[in-house]
């Protein structure tokens, strides 16, 4: 619904940000969509609202939203197209998780039988833990992302993950039309999202489980090749996911049980929160507790607690700094 530009933000010498150095940013500009333009404007405003409320090291940063009227091609006067809505966002220098998965799948094909089919587990966990941290804070503000997928997981060159694209996030109750149309990407949608039923954070956690499944195996549990979007969405509701050990025989049996719960068709059988999901994977697989995850939990708890205060602000800044410092220390570049 839009195009993203790499740009520089310059600050007026007599404005509120006087003395601030020019900053590299991303401009996400809405394309004109004819009869659907009003609906996409709503998505843009919703994304701005969600990102404005979220201030998390694993969520892409929000600067501002504005409208501008492009000049006519002749250069004489404004364009007849009208005002263009634009989001100013943090610039993330790196690649998407989708790119990273594709590279590892290509390497596995070259390496031949016996090689890992996707991303090695420790690297995959490094990314997944940060994704769950972003979702924990998102859900603490009663926001449901609704489009968690590898192409919306950005990985900076220093290994820091940034969840992006909150355009179809549920910030408020969905309209009847939205519920009917079930916005999202079929291969990653939860069954209740496909059916247009009420959603909570467990829907995003189902999508996150698919992301981890694909990261480790290089395959989707409900593949899209030679299948219509309708067939893919139907599979989310009716078909059981293939056992992960079919594609990753090196996986321990406990990983199978974790995915069975994460990809349950019934939300009540899934992990209730991102924190619970992370703790289940961590403890079952013997992953040591980390200071970074402790800071993630603290940040989501403070986001949920409501009213701001100088003390709370200082605590949140300390937690953000601990998260970034910790994940950088692990030295997990996006390759």
Q: What is the pLDDT of residues 69-96, one digit of tens each?
A: 766 554 555 444 566 889 999 999 999 9
What is the band of 202 on the pLDDT scale with cuts at 50, 70, 90? Answer: very high
Q: Is the pLDDT of residue 172 over 70?
A: no
- How high is the pLDDT of residue 74? 47
- How high is the pLDDT of residue 292? 85
Given a contact cutoff of 8 angstroms between Cβ atoms, the answer to whether 163 and 148 are in contact is yes
Q: What is the pLDDT of residues 185-201, one digit of tens each?
A: 999 999 999 999 999 99
Q: What is the DSSP string of 161-224?
A: EEE---TT-BSSPPPHHHHHH--S-GGG--HHHHTT----HHHHHHHHHHHHHHHHHSS-SS--
CA contacts within 13 A on the Cβ side of 247: 18
Q: Where in the chain is the domain with CATH 3.30.200.20?
A: 2-90
Given a contact cutoff of 8 angstroms between Cβ atoms, the answer to whether 118 and 108 are in contact is yes
- How high is the pLDDT of residue 307? 61
- How high is the pLDDT of residue 306? 63
- How high is the pLDDT of residue 54? 83
- How high is the pLDDT of residue 75? 55
- How high is the pLDDT of residue 35? 63
User: 135 or 37, which is more confident?
Assistant: 135
Q: What is the pLDDT of residues 284-314, one digit of tens each?
A: 999 988 888 888 888 888 877 666 667 777 8
Q: Is 147 a catalytic residue?
A: yes
Superfamily of domain 94-329: Transferase(Phosphotransferase) domain 1 (1.10.510.10)
Share of the chain above pLDDT 70, in %: 87
Q: Where in the chain is the domain with CATH 1.10.510.10?
A: 94-329
Q: Which CATH class is domain 2-90?
A: alpha beta
What does DSSP say about strands 62-68 and 94-96: parallel, antiparallel, or unpaired? unpaired
Catalytic residue among 14, 49, 99, 147: 147
Q: What is the pLDDT of residues 118-138, one digit of tens each?
A: 999 999 999 999 999 999 999
Q: Is the pLDDT of residue 18 over 60?
A: yes
């Amino acid at each position: 619904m839009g195009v993203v530009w790499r740009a520089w933000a310059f600050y007026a010498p007599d404005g509120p940000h006087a003395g601030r150095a020019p900053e590299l940013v991303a401009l996400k500009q809405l394309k004109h969509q004819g009869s659907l333009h009003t609906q996409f404007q709503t998505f843009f405003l919703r994304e701005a609202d969600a990102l404005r409320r979220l201030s998390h090291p694993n969520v892409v940063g929000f600067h501002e939203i504005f409208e501008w009227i492009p000049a006519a091609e002749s250069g004489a006067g404004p364009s007849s197209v009208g005002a263009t809505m634009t989001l100013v966002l943090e610039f993330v220098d790196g690649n998407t998780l989708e790119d990273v998965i594709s590279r590892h799948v290509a390497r596995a094909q070259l390496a031949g039988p016996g090689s890992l089919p996707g991303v090695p587990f420790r690297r995959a966990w490094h990314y997944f833990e940060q994704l769950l941290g972003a979702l924990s804070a998102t859900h603490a503000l009663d926001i449901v992302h609704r489009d968690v997928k590898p192409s919306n997981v950005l990985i900076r060159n220093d290994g820091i993950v940034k969840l992006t694209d909150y355009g179809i996030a549920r910030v408020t109750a969905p309209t009847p039309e939205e519920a009917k149309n079930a916005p999202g990407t079929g291969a990653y949608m939860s069954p209740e999202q496909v059916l247009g039923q009420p959603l909570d954070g467990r829907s995003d956690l189902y999508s996150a489980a698919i992301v981890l499944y694909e990261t480790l195996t290089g395959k989707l549990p409900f593949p899209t090749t030679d299948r219509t979007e309708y067939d893919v969405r139907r599979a989310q509701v009716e078909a059981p996911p293939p056992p992960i050990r079919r594609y990753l025989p090196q996986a321990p049996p406990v990983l199978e049980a974790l995915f069975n719960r994460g990809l349950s068709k019934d939300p009540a059988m899934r992990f209730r929160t991102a924190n619970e999901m992370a703790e289940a994977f961590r403890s079952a697989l013997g992953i040591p507790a980390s200071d970074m995850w402790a800071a993630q939990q603290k940040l989501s708890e403070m986001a949920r607690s409501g009213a701001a205060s100088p003390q709370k602000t200082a605590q949140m800044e300390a937690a953000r700094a601990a998260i970034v410092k910790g994940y950088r220390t692990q030295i997990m570049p996006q390759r």
